[in-house]
Amino acid sequence: MKQMIARGAESVIYKIERWGLPFVLKWRQDKPYLLKEIDSQLRKLRTSRECKMLTISRALGVPTPAVYSVDLENYTILMDFITGVQFKKLAAQLSRTDLISNCHGFGKLIALLHEGNVVHGDPTTSNVIVDEKSRLWVVDFGLSEMNATIEMKGVDLHLIHRALETTHWDIQEDMLNATLEGYVDILKDAAEPIITRMSEIRERGRYH
């Protein structure tokens, strides 16, 4: 059994069954417009990076699917299937209280990554899954990086801000505030220079 559950710009997500249990097989497909060697190197890099960062992030306290195997010749990762709904799809249906509490939780998870000097690289609401117990899971670590600087963390926050204003335009302000509150809850005073940097990056984008 192999069922396609999502198809993004760079990968296809299959739900497969093994030993009577559900798993996800993430396959990075080729990009026909890229030179073959470059394409292959990029897919290999992102696949191995995602695999490594899923595990590192879990060690920092961020729920991520456990990885069972990685195949760098075929650009695939076999991981746990998380039963739930994309936060992006759920956001519009949630009550204000639940929405705020989920954003708060999202901000805390991003802060745990940043506390461990990891940036996610693509921190949007489509890369967060909310399970039946309202627990948040983070996926899609192909652009994630270690040894992150304040600038890199500021970019991560800026990407959240930008994603919220393009995807959740009617509720973006509440969502951003709640996310930043969760972020500060974890990082305390250390959050301040990063949030300042987020605003600076936003200003730079406006005038250049």
Q: Considering the complex, what minimum distance in angstroms separates the CB of residue 78 from ligand ADP?
A: 10
Structure tokens at 117: 């000097």
Site residues for ligand ADP per CB under 6 A? 5-6, 8, 10-11, 13, 24, 26, 65, 79-82, 86, 126-127, 129, 139-140, 142
Task: Give all strands (DSSP E) within the chain, no chain letters.
Answer: 2-7, 11-18, 21-28, 67-71, 76-80, 84-86, 128-131, 136-138
d(Cα 176, Cα 196) in Å, to the nearest integer? 14
Residue type, 35: L
Count CB-CB contacts under 10 A for residue 175: 26
d(Cα 136, Cα 130) in Å, to the nearest integer? 5
Of 47, 57, 64, 127, the one binding Mg ion (CB under 5 A) is 127
Q: Considering the complex, what minimum distance in angstroms separates the CB of residue 149 from ligand ADP?
A: 24
Of 26, 62, 118, 140, the one binding Mg ion (CB under 5 A) is 140
- Stretches 135-143, 148-156, 173-181, 188-196: which one binds Mg ion (CB under 5 A)? 135-143
Q: Considering the complex, what minimum distance in angstroms separates the CB of residue 23 from Mg ion?
A: 18
d(Cα 111, Cα 136) in Å, to the nearest integer? 14
Residue sitting closest to ligand ADP (CB) = 8
- Stretches 24-32, 66-74, 101-109, 136-144: which one binds Mg ion (CB under 5 A)? 136-144
d(Cα 113, Cα 165) in Å, to the nearest integer? 23
Rounded to the nearest 5°, which phi and psi values hold at 176?
-65, -45
- Stretches 13-21, 30-38, 134-142, 166-174: which one binds Mg ion (CB under 5 A)? 134-142
Chain positions contacting Mg ion, by CB under 5 A: 127, 140
